[in-house]
Amino acid sequence: MAQISIKVDGVEYADAVEPRTLLVHYLRDQVGKTGTVVGCDTSNCGSCTVHLDGTSVKSCTVLAVQADGHEVTTIEGLAKDGELHPMQQAFHENHALQCGFCTPGMVMQSIDLLRDNPSPTEEEVRHGLEGNLCRCTGYQNIVKAVLAAAESAPVRIGTAGGTL
């Protein structure tokens, strides 16, 4: 077993993990962050996307030991005091989900996308979400939501201290 210290959604955790433990399994099974889901298990679908030190990663393709000493933000860390993050709000308002399984990863990658490019074109949004699959094929409203978020809340998304 290896000892790790990780900050998850603002809270410090110190745990023993097997070196083979994937970050997504650590988050779900040991920290209880079941909002982050396992989709394809082969690095394709992006539903397990979280932020590691402020940039998006597929948490099924990171070992928990690699995140030792680092900071993770999951979908569960976005809402503040009961208020949805602007990207969550935009997904809500634009009906950017059908079954909802891909949504946690879509939201996390969409926030990363706007941090990198605060005013993307539709084409840039589609390209930036290339690593996230929606098997309901609900892409139209997902793209619409990201564009709406870019329009409505660029300041909060762009300046939230590197974690949001």
Partner 1 sequence: MIPVAFDYTAPSSVADAVSALGSDSEEIKVLAGGQSLIPVLRLRLAAPTLLVDIGRIPELRGITDEGDALVIGAMTTHAEVADSDLVKEHAGVLAKATEAVADPQVRHRGTLGGSLVHADPAGDLPAPILALDAELVIAGADGERTVPAANFFHDMFATAVGDREILTKVRIPKHTGWGAHYEKFTRVAQQWSIVAVAATVKVDGGSISAAKVALTNMGATPIRATGVEQALLGRAAAGDTVKQAASSAAEGTNPPTDTNGDASYRRHLANVLTGRAVLAAAAN
CB nearer to partner 1: pick between 46 and 104: 46
Residues 126/117, Cβ–Cβ less than 8 Å: no
Is residue 66 a contact residue for partner 1 (CB under 8 A)?
yes
Size of the residue set binding partner 1 (CB under 8 A): 31
The least distance separating partner 1 from the CB of residue 160, rounded to whole angstroms, comes to: 18
- Kindly identify the residues of this chain, within the stretch 21-60, that bind partner 1 according to CB under 8 A: 22, 25, 41-44, 46, 49, 52, 55-58, 60
* Residue of 15, 30, 65, 160 interacting with partner 1 (CB under 8 A): 65
CB nearer to partner 1: pick between 117 and 141: 117
CB nearer to partner 1: pick between 65 and 160: 65
The least distance separating partner 1 from the CB of residue 115, rounded to whole angstroms, comes to: 11
CB nearer to partner 1: pick between 131 and 154: 131
- The span from the CA of 67 to the CA of 101, in Å, is 24
* Residue of 112, 125, 148, 150 interacting with partner 1 (CB under 8 A): 112
Q: Two tokens at 96?
A: 């950017």
Is residue 62 a contact residue for partner 1 (CB under 8 A)?
yes
The least distance separating partner 1 from the CB of residue 110, rounded to whole angstroms, comes to: 11
Is residue 138 a contact residue for partner 1 (CB under 8 A)?
no
Is residue 157 a contact residue for partner 1 (CB under 8 A)?
no
Residue 71: left if φ>0, alpha if ψ -120 to 50, beta else—which one?
A: beta
